[in-house]
Amino acid sequence: MSVRLIAVDMDGTFLRDNKSYDNPRFARQYVQMQTQGIRFVVASGNQYYQLRSFFPDIHAEIAFVAENGACVINQQQPLFVAELPRQQWEQCLAILDRYEFIKTVICGFHSAYIRRPFDEAFFQHMSRFYHHLQVIDNICEIKDTVYKFALNIDDHHFESFMQHISDEMAGMLTPVSSGHGSADLMIPGIHKANGIGILQDLWGISDEETVAFGDGGNDHEMLDKAGWGFVMANAADIMRTPGRLAAGHNNQDGVLDMIDNILLSRAPFNK
């Protein structure tokens, strides 16, 4: 069966560690994907406004599964936006505020929010991932659809926090590691695979016609859903489960190499 959808995680997957990729090479590949009727989807934990900045020439044409599936946008039109009831997200935020070793970003559809007082270094770091990021004094200022929390967690507390916060949230939110001391608290059932499924239904594409690339814990569901789930060479060993395939290193353009194989019907796509 032919490939009709290619979904890529960004950090540690499509992007090199310096947040770049071979733009001219991908531009040539994108033209070939259009010719062959292959859809290209960006699937990341990052904000839509940040993700589209990597594709200035084509962002209006392609689809994005942003915020780990909480926001699905196709050709600049929102197809799905998850929502936490205000009372619920305020309750979750109160729980998070008990932990002194985490820093929290409140993530909404129109913007993300950091409260004063805040650490300037943290703000600058998160600005790389949230191009719409506001500083507020009080959560009463938020008039937005909130759908997740992005957390930066002290390395010494990461594992124990991830174990305990799941119990404390009591099913309201699910913790998902996004690598490098970061985690998202997501609405249960909201993940990248859910977003990919929305696009598959729109376009009439099956799992067997879908290829996905990822490297981190927030890619598990997407890699398992895709008929062709590729784990990057730079990914942790825990990502290499039975049934998953191997792609090259993100710093060596492993995704682009595999896209060439798809376009030219080379192994493993020559069956």
CB burial of residue 238 (10 Å; 0-12, 13-18, 19+): exposed
d(CA 238, CA 133): 33
Rg (the chain; Cα; Å): 18
d(CA 231, CA 212): 9
Determine phi and psi for 147, rounding to 5 degrees. -135, -5
Q: Is 9 a catalytic residue?
A: yes
Please report which residue ranges of the chain form alpha helices under DSSP H. Answer: 23-35, 48-51, 86-96, 120-127, 158-169, 192-203, 220-225, 254-263
Q: CA torsion, points 125, 128, 134, 136, in degrees to nearest 10?
A: -10
Contact 193, 222 (CB under 8 A): yes
**Catalytic position from the list 9, 184, 219, 253:** 9
The pairing of strands 210-214 and 39-43 is unpaired
Active-site residues, by number, are 9
